[in-house]
Amino acid sequence: MDNRPVVLEVRHVTKRFGGLIAVNDLSFDVHHNEVLGLIGPNGSGKTTMMNLISGALSVSGGDIMMNDLLISDLPPRKRARAGVARTFQLVRMLPSMTALENVMAGAVFGHKKLWGRGLQVHAQRQLERVGMGDVAQRPTSALTYIDQKRVELARALASDPSILLLDEWLAGLNPTELQVGIELITSLRDEGRTIILVEHVMDAIRSLCDRCVVMSSGVKIAEGTPTEVLSDKGVIQAYLGDDHV
């Protein structure tokens, strides 16, 4: 039993797109300073669930609570103010702005409000935090995809979030970069962050996650430690088919 306080509650959340039910009556808790993996086959509803937490999508039914605040009725900007920050499956940069300016935007519009010189120093520190301190004045359009990912993470951190949503942040990394990425996420948890990550890299799931919620076709099919869920027959069937159960 986890005695850490619950910081996010997802209760009977459903999301419909016309006749398609992308998330169906999903419930789970996230504890303070926990890394929760949201995993499942492609099309299982994981990114939709991240969008419902961040406010990019509105729920069709159910509630999302953050520290006793009902956030599922709030617009994205107010959720950001409450302490939710995220990265995206496809990197979303402000291409005409420098890396430093992109990170500064995260602090201005997020949970932590800073201005002037203090804002610049804080943004520079976040770039250094992810190993990108030397690209501060480069336009993000001139950066590699991997480096854009790291700048996007720095931008999310600039708002000093209490809950960080990472949507396939480790996707596309080579083995060396993957290890660096795992170590970076581990260090964020060690700082006291609460992290929800959508990920397909099983080495990362095993290394990083305290618990996993497994989705398939919009519903939760398993929940537990990485070892428990990855040996679950229903999970194996969802990923690999009946022949591998």
| Cβ proximity of 152 and 97 under 8 Å | no
Residue 33 CA to residue 189 CA, distance in Å, equals: 6
> Quick one: DSSP state of residue 86?
E
pLDDT in tens, 31-77: 999 999 999 998 999 999 999 999 999 999 999 999 989 999 999 98
| Cβ proximity of 69 and 127 under 8 Å | no
* CATH 3.20.20.70 describes domain 1-83+162-220: no
> Quick one: DSSP state of residue 136?
T
Q: In the chain, where does the domain assigned CATH 3.40.50.300 lie? A: 1-83+162-220
pLDDT in tens, 110-130: 666 777 888 999 999 999 999
Residue 170 CA to residue 182 CA, distance in Å, equals: 8
The mean per-residue pLDDT over the stretch 97-114 comes to 82
pLDDT for the residue 244: 45
